[in-house]
Structure 1
Amino acid sequence: MSSPADRLRRLLAQPGIRVMPGCHDAMSARLIEEAGFDMGFMSGFAVSAVRLGLPDTGLISYGELLEQGSNVCAAVSIPLFGDGDTGFGNALNVKRTVQGYARAGFACIMLEDQVAPKRCGHTQGKAVVSRDEAAMRIRAAVDARNEGADILVMARTDARATDGLDEAIARCKLFRKLGADITFLEAPESEEEMRRYCAEVDGPKMANLIEHGKTPLLPPAELEAIGYKIAVYPLTQLNVAIKAMRAALRAIKAGGRPDVMDFEELKSAVGFPDYYDAEDRYRG
C-alpha cells in the first residue's frame, strides 16, 4: 500500500482545490472520512481545547499532540495534516518532531515561525522569530524529510500580523526555496492580500477559513480561481460540537430532553457493527 504522504502527493497533483475539514480526535477524524472528504487536518487549537480544556497558547506539548495524532491517524485511511506548532525547540527538536509525526502516520506536518510559546493565528499577542530562525526550522524539517521521514512539509508564517504582508510573502518565498512542499500565509485580512500572496508565491498554498476570524470566508471555487490549492476549515467541527453540547446541557438542566440521534445510529457511528462482524468471524 502507498504511504499517507504518497496519497497526499497524488491528491495535490490532481486539478482542482482540495477542501479539508479539521479534526481534534479519532471520532471527528472518522466523521471527515465518512462525509467523503479525501483529506483532513488535526488542529492544535482544537486538540488543546478537547484534550486539556485550554486555549491554543503553547500549553500543549509535543508528546500530547503526537499521542493524539497517532490515534487520529489510526482511525482513518485518508491522508491527514498534523499541526506541529513551532517544532518544539531548535533544529534538532524540529527534526525529531517531523520524524515523530511521520511515524504517527501523518501525510504532512505544519510548522510555523512564531515565538514559543505560540498562539492561535487569529488571536492577539503574536510574535514571530527572525527570518533566519524561521528558515532554520524549515531547513531542519526538509532535511528530516529528505533523510527518510515520509511526510510533506507545510511552512506557515504569522508575519502578516507582526511585520506586514511584504515580510510574510518574503518568508513564504524563502520557505519554498528551502524545499517546503506547501506554504501557508496565516490571516490575510482581505481578498486583495490573498490574491497578492497567490500571485507572488509559487507552489501549493493553503487558505485557513475560520468562521468569524480575520480572513474572508471565500467559497472554494473562488479560492481556487485566486490560486489556492487547499481550503482548510480547522475549527468548524469543534465549534458546532461545543454549540450542540451546550444546547443539550441547557435542555437537561431545564428538565427537558435534548435533540439527539437514535441510539442505534450512535452505536453505528462509533463502530459497533464492524466490531460485531469481526467478533462473529472469530467466534468458535
Structure 2
Amino acid sequence: MSVGFVGGVGSSHGVRRQVRCCTTPGNKLRETLARPGIQLMPCCFDALSARLIERAGFNFTFMSGFSSAAVHGLPDTGLMSFEEVRRHLQYLTETNNIPVICDGDTGYGNALNVKRTIQGLHSAGAAGIMIEDQISPKRCGHTKVKGVVSYDEAMMRMRAAIDARDAHASDLVIVARTDAAKAIGIDEAIKRANEFHKMGAEVSFVEAPDSVEAMQRLCDGIDGWTMCNCLEMGATPILEPARLEELGYKIAAYPLTLLSSAVKSMEEALVVLRAGDVSKVKPMLKEFTDLQELVGFDDYFREEKLYEVP
C-alpha cells in the first residue's frame, strides 16, 4: 500500500490531502485497460472538464494538447512550454480522482529533454504520457501535413521516454504516437509502432488513418493496445465504439468533443445576450446551486466548519 495525494469531489478548493491509497494513478489506468472491451476516453481541457468526465462515470481522461492550447488562446503548434503544460496538468490531477494521460508532444527537445518531460509530468500526477515522433514544432495531426523525425531519432526519443519511466516512474503508462502514416506511409507507421511496443510502450497511437480499411490494417499489424483518435469532422472516420472494438482498438479517444460543444454553447449564449434577450438565457444554464456544488463550494464550506474559532 502506497501513500499518495488525492483530490476530487472530496477535496476543498484544490487542497491536496494525504491519504493511504492502494494503487497509483498509473497502475489504476493499467488495470482499467486490462479489462475486456474497448474503453471510451473523452478528453479534457481543464480541471473543470476533467471533473465532469469523472462525474459522468468514465474511467480515465486525456489532457488534450489541442484543447489545452486552445484555452490559453493558442493553436496546437507547439507554442505551450513544458512548464505551462506541467502546471496545467497539476490543476487537473490535484482536483480529480480519475487517471489522466498527458500529451507530452515531442518531449520538448532532445533525448534528455524527453527524460525530464517524463519525470516532470509524472511528478505532476500523470497516469500516462504520450510522446510522438513529429518534427518540432509539432501540430495537430488533423490539420496541415507535417513531418516526422527519422526512424533512428524516433527510436532514440522513445528509448529516452522508456528509460525515464523505468528509472523514476515505473507505474506510468507510455502512449507512443506516430504520424508516419500520413507523412511517410502506413507500413512505416506499423514498423515504428511495433518497435515502440517492443521497447515498452503500452499503447500505440497511429494518428489520422483516413479510411476504415487503413484502420483495420493498423489494428491487424500492430502488437499491444491501440488507440483511435475520434475527432469529429477530422480525417479519421467516426465509427461506433462497437465497430472500433471489432477492428481491434482498445481506446476510443474523443479529443475535441467537450471543447467544441462548450465553445458552441458559449457562442449561442453570447448571441442571445448581444440581442438583449436576457430572459432566454436561463434555459441554457445550469442551476446556480448546481454550479456551486460542481466547483467545490459545498465541500469547502463543510471543511471550513472544522476550523471555525469558537
> TM-score, structure 1 length as denominator?
0.97
> Which residue of the partner structure matches residue 250 of structure 1?
271
Structure 1 position 214 matched with structure 2 position 239: no
Say whether 1:162 aligns with 2:183: yes
In the alignment, which residue of structure 2 is the partner of 1:86? Answer: 106
**Of 288, 292, 301, which aligns to 1:267?**
292
Matched, 1:238 2:259: yes
Corresponding residue SS for 2:225: coil
Given residue 291 of structure 2, which amino acid in structure 1 is its aligned partner?
A: L
Residue 67 of structure 1: how far off its partner (Å) = 0.4
How far off its partner does 1:281 sit? 2.8
| Residue in 1 that maps onto 2:25 | 4
Aligned match of 1:143: 163
Structure 1 residue 20: Cα displacement: 0.6
- Residue 33 of structure 1 aligns with which residue? 54
Q: Quote the sequence identity (%).
A: 53
> Which residue in the other structure is 2:85 paired with?
65
Structure 2: gaps spanning 5 or more residues: 1-20
Quote the offset at 1:164 in angstroms: 1.3
Q: Structure 2 CA distance, aligned partners of 1:24 and 1:206? A: 19
Given that residues 145 and 183 in structure 2 are in contact (C-alpha distance below 8 angstroms), is that contact kept between their aligned partners in structure 1?
A: no
| 1:225 matched to 2:246 | yes
The one-character-per-residue Cα deviations of 1:196-230 (angstroms, maximum 9, x if unpaired) are 11111110110000010011111111111111111
Report how far residue 151 of structure 1 moved. Answer: 1.2
**Which amino acid in 1 is paired with 2:91?**
N
Residue 305 of structure 2 aligns with which residue? 280
Q: Aligned partners of 1:256, 1:38: CA distance in 2, in Å? A: 40
Distance 1:139 1:54 in 2: 30
Say which SS state the counterpart of residue 265 (structure 2) adopts.
Answer: helix
Q: 1:15 aligns with which of 10, 21, 36?
A: 36
How many residue pairs get aligned? The number is 283
Compute the displacement of 1:271 (Å).
1.3
CA distance in 2 between partners of 1:272 and 1:74 (Å): 16
1:104 maps onto 2:124 in alignment: yes
Determine the C-alpha separation between the residues in 2 that align with 1:3 and 1:276.
29
Q: What amino acid does structure 1 have at the position aligned with 2:177?
A: R
TM-score (norm: length of structure 2): 0.89
What SS does structure 2 have at the residue aligned with 1:231?
strand
Aligned to 1:128: 148
Matches of 1:223 and 1:85, distance apart in 2? 25
Runs of 4+ in 1 over 2 A off after TM superposition: 280-284
Cα offset, 1:85, TM superposition: 0.3
Question: Separation in 2 of the partners of 1:4 and 1:13?
Answer: 14
1:41-98 alpha-carbon deviations (Å, 9 max, x no partner): 00011010002x0110111111111100011111111111000000001110000000
Provide the rounded CA distance (Å) in 2 between the counterparts of 1:161 and 1:152.
25
**Cα RMSD (Å):** 1.0
Trace 1:165-176 onto structure 2 (pairs within 5 A). Answer: 165-176=186-197
Letter of the structure 2 residue corresponding to residue 277 of structure 1: R
> Which has the higher mean CA deviation after the structures are superposed, 99-108 or 254-263?
254-263
